[in-house]
Structures are given as C-alpha cells and as structure tokens.
Amino acid sequence: MFGPRIGADLGLSPALTYGGFSAGLLVMGLASAPVGRAIDRLGGRAVMSAGSVVTAAGLAGLSLAAGLAGLSPRRARPATTPPGPCSASACG
C-alpha cells in the first residue's frame, strides 16, 4: 500500500523499496533472540522502553532520507526540497 508512494518520493524502484523492507525483516529476525534474552535478564519494561527510544530515533532519521543513500544510517541527510505529490501512475 505504501511501497509505491515511498518509492516515488525517494526515486527508488519497487525492487529497492521492497528489498529495503525485506532487509528490515531480516534484521528484526536476527535481533529477536538477543532482545528476548535481554528481556529475560533485564525485564520487559527496561528493554521495551529502550526499544521505543531507538525506534523513535530511527523514524526521525528516516524522515530525513532524500534517496537511497539517505536510507543508510551513516549517510542520512535532510532533503533539499520538500517531496512533491505522487502522480497517479507512480502511486498506483
């Protein structure tokens, strides 16, 4: 639903847009066991609170992405122009 709009805003192909989503799923899968152990060791409140802070920081960084390079955690930078509206062909 959002893939075509995100791709159009960032100038990415559908393959790159959905590939990024797939990479995110892979990272979540790899992180699940260590996070589960941390919850067992430290308690859910501390780990989930820290996760919320990390997620908020990540979403703030994503809001600054101006293209494929901007999606990299080390290369995030603000967009130079505000995104324009999606055209009907680009947004489905």
pLDDT tens, position by position, 20-62: 889 889 999 999 999 999 999 999 999 999 999 999 998 888 7
Residue type at 15 in one-letter notation: A
More confident residue, 79 or 53: 53
Structure confidence at residue 85 (pLDDT): 54
More confident residue, 83 or 25: 25
Structure confidence at residue 90 (pLDDT): 52
Structural domain spans, the chain: 3-69
Interhelix angle for 14-42 vs 44-62, to 10°? 160
**How crowded is residue 77: how many other Cβ atoms within 10 Å of its Cβ?**
13
